[in-house]
Amino acid sequence: MLKDADFRGLRPGMSATDVERILGSPLLRTPLPRLREQAWEYRFFDIQTPMKALLHFDLNGVLNRHTQGYDHEYHHGGAER
């Protein structure tokens, strides 16, 4: 089960393979052609708080950045489990 600490070790420049080795497969992989990126989505709980993390990779599979925050969709039926 993923937790906040798993995401703290991520750094820009990591390969998609390394990230997937740490976090496992994402819930969604969304191509963002205009940004020339792909976004990976993960959902997890920080203690009892539902969280969502988005990881942005360039077209070469290199991590550019990631963000995480409260998963607003969790209580509104938008999150698929």
Residue 52 phi/psi, 5° resolution? Answer: -130, 135
Q: Where are the domains of the chain?
A: 4-76
State residue 46's pLDDT score.
86
Read off the pLDDT of each residue in 10-28 and give the average, rounded to a whole number. Answer: 97
Outline where the chain has alpha helix (H): 4-8, 16-23
State residue 15's pLDDT score.
98
CATH architecture of 4-76: 2-Layer Sandwich (3.30)
State residue 19's pLDDT score.
98
HSE-up of residue 32 (Cα within 13 Å, Cβ side) = 15
Read off the pLDDT of each residue in 16-28 and give the average, rounded to a whole number. Answer: 97
Residue with tokens 């080795």: 21
Q: How confident is the model at residue 78 (pLDDT cuts 50, 70, 90)?
A: low
Report the alpha-carbon distance of residue 58 to residue 75 in Å, rounded: 31
State residue 30's pLDDT score.
97
Q: Which DSSP letter does residue 67 get?
A: E
State residue 81's pLDDT score.
46
Q: How confident is the model at residue 77 (pLDDT cuts 50, 70, 90)?
A: low
